[in-house]
Amino acid sequence: MQKHAIIGAGAVGSILYYLLKDNHEIDIDIYAKEVRKLYITKNDEPIETNKKTKILPSKTQYDTIYICVKATATKTLIEDVLNMCHDHTNIIICQNGISQVDLFNHPYTYHAVVYISGQKKNDEVVYFQDNTLILPDDDKLITLKQCTDLSQLNIVLDENHQEKQWFKLLVNLGINTITALTKNTAQVLEQKQIESLTEQLLAEGYTVARHHGIALGEETIEDIMAIYKTYHPLMGTSMYYDVCENRLTEFEYIQGYIHHLASSYQLLTPILNTVTALLAGYQYKRK
Ligand SMILES: NC(=O)C1=CN([C@@H]2O[C@H](COP(=O)(O)OP(=O)(O)OC[C@H]3O[C@@H](n4cnc5c(N)ncnc54)[C@H](OP(=O)(O)O)[C@@H]3O)[C@@H](O)[C@H]2O)C=CC1
Ligand SMILES: O=C(CO)[C@H](O)[C@H](O)COP(=O)(O)O
Regarding whether 170 and 137 lie in a shared domain, the answer is no
Taking residues 269-278, what's their average pLDDT?
98
Mean pLDDT of the chain: 96
**Which residue has the CA at smallest separation from atom 10 of ligand 2?**
237
Which of 159, 176, 209 lies at the terminal end of a domain, its last residue? 159
Taking residues 144-170, what's their average pLDDT?
96
Taking residues 183-201, what's their average pLDDT?
98
Cβ atoms of residues 238 and 11 within 8 Å: yes
Cβ atoms of residues 115 and 132 within 8 Å: yes
Gap from CA of 4 to ligand 1 centroid (Å): 17
In this predicted model, what pLDDT tens digit does every residue of 37-62 receive, in sequence order?
Answer: 999 999 999 987 789 999 999 999 99
Gap from CA of 117 to ligand 2 centroid (Å): 5
**Count of structural domains within the chain:** 2
Regarding whether 170 and 118 lie in a shared domain, the answer is no
HSE (CB half, 13 Å, CA atoms) of 57? 10
In this predicted model, what pLDDT tens digit does every residue of 214-254 receive, in sequence order?
Answer: 999 999 999 999 999 999 999 999 999 999 999 999 999 99
Question: DSSP 3-state assignment of 282?
Answer: helix
Alpha helices (runs of H) in the chain, residue ranges in sequence order: 11-20, 78-82, 142-148, 161-182, 192-211, 220-229, 238-244, 255-264, 270-282
Gap from CA of 11 to ligand 2 centroid (Å): 11
Q: pLDDT at residue 287 above 90?
A: no
* pLDDT cut 90: percent of the chain above it: 94
- The Cα–Cα gap between 67 and 232 comes to 26
Q: Please give the residue range of the domain that contains residue 136.
A: 2-159
pLDDT-based confidence at residue 78 (cuts at 50, 70, 90)? very high
Q: Write down the pTM of the prediction.
A: 0.95
Largest CA-CA distance found in the chain, in angstroms, rounded: 54
